[in-house]
């Protein structure tokens, strides 16, 4: 199984997503995080599965999971770096560069 690496910003995104959803629905928060982690594993196995997002930054790709978009880069050696996990209703350009 191929691996992926979460950037610090992506780790913070996951923590914020879980905390926000868990305020009202703890079980749902766990399901959402499990879904995002499953999508990250899929991306690691198939790095070209996402959509190119060069308008945000050269080489960035995105992959949808539920209400969120996973932003990542895939290197030539097939390593995958998860940069951010952002709600799909947010303006991705400015949100991608926060933190």
Q: Where are the domains of the chain?
A: 4-96
Strand, coil or helix: 5: strand
- Which of the listed CATH numbers 3.40.50.150, 3.30.2310.20, 3.90.1150.10, 3.30.70.100 matches domain 4-96? 3.30.2310.20
- Between 98 and 88, whose confidence is greater? 88
Query: Is residue 16 scored above 80 in pLDDT?
Result: yes
Quote the pLDDT of residue 60.
95
For residue 34, what are its two tokens?
């499990």
**Terminal CA-to-CA distance of the chain, rounded, Å?**
30
In terms of Cβ atoms closer than 10 Å to its own Cβ (0-12, 13-18, 19+), residue 37 is middle
Task: Average the pLDDT over 51-67 and give the result.
Answer: 95
For residue 90, what are its two tokens?
């947010």
């Amino acid at each position: 199984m191929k691996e992926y690496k979460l950037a610090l910003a992506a780790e913070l995104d996951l923590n914020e997503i879980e905390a926000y959803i868990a305020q009202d629905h703890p079980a749902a928060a766990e399901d959402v995080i499990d879904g995002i982690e499953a999508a990250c594993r899929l991306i690691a196995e198939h790095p070209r599965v996402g959509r190119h997002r060069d308008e945000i930054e050269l080489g960035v790709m995105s992959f949808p999971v539920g209400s969120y978009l996973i932003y990542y880069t895939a290197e030539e050696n097939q390593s995958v770096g998860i940069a951010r996990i952002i709600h799909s209703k947010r303006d991705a350009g400015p949100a991608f560069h926060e933190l």
